[in-house]
Amino acid sequence: MTIHNIAVIAGDGIGPEVIAEGIRVLDAAAETDGGFRFRYSYFPWGCEHYLHTGRMMPDDGIKTLSGFEAIYLGAVGAPGVPDHISLWDLLLTIRHSFDQYVNLRPIKLLRGASCPLKGIGPGGIDMIVVRENSEGEYAGKGDWLFRGEEREVVLQTGVFSRLGCERIIRYAFELARSEKRTLTSVSKGNALNYSMVFWDSVFERIGAEYQDVVTDSLLVDAASMFFVKDPGRFGVIVTSNLFGDILTDLGAAITGGMGLAAGANLNPPKKYPSMFEPIHGSAPDIAGRQLANPLAAVWSASQMLEHLGHPEAAARILNVMECHMAAAKILTPDMGGIATTAEVGEAIVKRLWSL
Ligand code: NAD
Ligand code: IPM
Ligand code: MN
């Protein structure tokens, strides 16, 4: 029997509520499969921890996490702690320290999810965003000069390395090839005359090695427009850190909302642990009231199973989730229902056992 050691950082706001359900689903998936189990280690890191200790995680937090196969994270951020501190000292540090350079975000319209766009039904949106996750606009480099003075200047430097661009673009080409999908690069070379001109040139150069993959290259403003007007045109998308962040919230909005959007932060060579998390935040506006939709966390759990080498169990979770949504009975308020977070989790577990 394989035992997977998972670090769990439930985090802030709705994080603990949705992660509790994700764990129940993971355990049910393991028990019904029979071939593996999970051992969880819980780390109470986040804003509460910060308010008590002055740290989002202990100094040796990264060393502690490095011993695990994967990290399952809820959300980070709470009123009272500046977002740039809470996110940089925990979530972004983990992504960077473990070189989780791929952020894989499926944008798929499942049965039972509502789409605000006219004339688009289940399957009408089925893309996967490969977001660069280690550098770019999120390099964290810059300066703040002459603070508070009239001559104040702030610099936020984008970092686009050859290695960083090549590896993410190559990953996307490999994915598009293996799934026989088209690949669209999203950039902004007309205005960002260094970083994105470079990105486009790398895309073209690597593309020459993948003549079998049909490609397109769009400016991010036009790509946003097509997300709304013609989302069916996209298969795999590869884009920079910030553009990927923004486009995937837009993607969530057209495929049922933040409560359904999942993401995987991958270190493809598996030298370090990868991290699985819903793409939504800590949602302080609904936290602590069992109003949060746990399905994004459940979908992320399915991505984790895939990464750990259990593709059948991963597919089963997604299938159960879709059947559950199509039945439209036990849903949280964001999906038009009146069920609690836990009731949705319980219902998914029940379906996993009855499938
Ligand atoms: P958010 O994603 O937390 O919330 C945006 C809106 O979506 C809110 O109205 C919220 O109620 C709703 N929503 C989000 N998840 C939901 C769910 N599972 N079910 C139902 N509704 C859901 O984004 P925000 O309000 O911009 O940020 C809140 C905090 O979270 C900030 O501190 C921000 O920095 C942080 N944040 C963290 C992460 C992360 O940890 N990965 C991601 C985004 C934002
Ligand atoms: C996300 C989040 C993070 C990001 C924030 C919280 C730093 O918005 O995972 O999409 O921008 O990557
Ligand atoms: Mn985001």
Q: What is the CATH number of the domain that holds 337?
A: 3.40.718.10
Contact 274, 266 (CB under 8 A): yes
- Pocket lining: 286 vs ligand 1, CB cutoff 6 Å: yes
Backbone phi, then psi, for 37, in 5-degree steps? -140, 165
Ligand 2 touching residue 245 (CB < 6 A): yes
Provide the pLDDT for residue 235: 98
Distance 61 CA to ligand 3 centre (A): 23
218 and 132 belong to one structural domain: yes
Under 8 Å between Cβ of 188 and 200 = no
Give the residue from 106, 123, 107 showing the smallest Cα distance to 227.
Answer: 107
Q: Does 80 lie in the same domain as 23?
A: yes
Domain-embedded: residue 121? no
Hey, what are 44's tokens?
């109470």
Place of tokens 């991958």: 266
**Is 327 found in the same domain as 277?**
yes
Atom of ligand 2 nearest to the CA of 77: 6
Are residues 178 and 241 part of one domain?
yes
Confirm whether 109 is domain-assigned: no
**Nearest alpha carbon, ligand 2 atom 4:** 245
Q: What is the DSSP string of 290-303?
A: T-S--HHHHHHHHH
- Is 19 close to ligand 1, i.e. is its CB under 6 Å away? no
Query: Which pTM value belongs to this model?
Result: 0.98
Ligand 1, atom 36, lies closest to the CA of 281
Helices 195-207 + 162-179 axis angle, to 10? 40
Does 250 contact ligand 2 (Cβ within 6 A)?
no
Q: Which atom belonging to ligand 1 lies closest to the Cα atom of 334?
A: 20
Enumerate the β-bridge partners of residue 40. Answer: 6
Structure tokens at 276: 């699985």
Closest ligand to C-alpha of residue 56 is 1
Q: Which residues contact 350 (CB under 8 A, 6 or more apart)?
A: none
Which ligand does the CA of 282 lie closest to?
1
Q: What is the pLDDT of residue 169?
A: 99
Place of tokens 């590869």: 238
> Do residues 69 and 93 both lie within one domain?
yes
Spell out the per-residue pLDDT of the chain, length 355, in tens.
999 999 999 999 999 999 999 999 999 999 999 999 999 999 999 999 999 999 999 999 999 999 999 999 999 999 999 999 999 999 999 999 999 999 999 999 999 999 999 999 999 999 999 999 999 999 999 999 999 999 999 999 999 999 999 999 999 999 999 999 999 999 999 999 999 999 999 999 999 999 999 999 999 999 999 999 999 999 999 999 999 999 999 999 999 999 999 999 999 999 999 999 999 999 999 999 999 999 999 999 999 999 999 999 999 999 999 999 999 999 999 999 999 999 999 999 999 999 8
Domain, as residue range, for 291: 1-101+261-355
Q: Is the CB of 342 under 6 A from ligand 2?
A: no
Number of structural domains (the chain) is 2
In a domain, 7, yes or no: yes
Q: Residues 231-283: pLDDT tens digits?
A: 999 999 999 999 999 999 999 999 999 999 999 999 999 999 999 999 999 99
Question: Is 77 near ligand 1, meaning CB less than 6 Å away?
Answer: yes
Q: Considering Cα of 66, then 29, then 311, then 112, what sign does the dihedral take?
A: negative
Instruction: Give pLDDT, residue 242.
Output: 98
Please report whether residue 97 resides in a domain: yes
Q: Say if residue 191 is in the same domain as residue 220.
A: yes
Ligand 2 in reach of 334 Cβ (< 6 A): no
pLDDT at residue 355 in the model: 80
What distance in Å separates the CA atoms of residue 338 and residue 295, rounded to the nearest whole number? Answer: 15
Task: Please identify, by atom number, the ligand 1 atom nearest to the C-alpha of residue 283.
Answer: 3
Task: Give me the residues near ligand 3 (ion), CB cutoff below 5 Å.
Answer: 245
Does 162 reside within a domain?
yes
Q: Do both 136 and 245 map to the same domain? A: yes
Strands 262-266 and 136-145: unpaired
pLDDT score of 135: 98
State in Å: Cα 166 to ligand 2 middle: 22
Answer yes or no: is 117 within a domain: no
Q: For residues 130 and 235, state if they share a domain.
A: yes
235, 183 contact by CB (below 8 A): yes
So what's the pLDDT on residue 300? Answer: 98
**Whole-number Å distance between alpha carbons of 244 and 187:** 10
> Which of 202, 220, 253 is the last residue before a domain boundary?
253
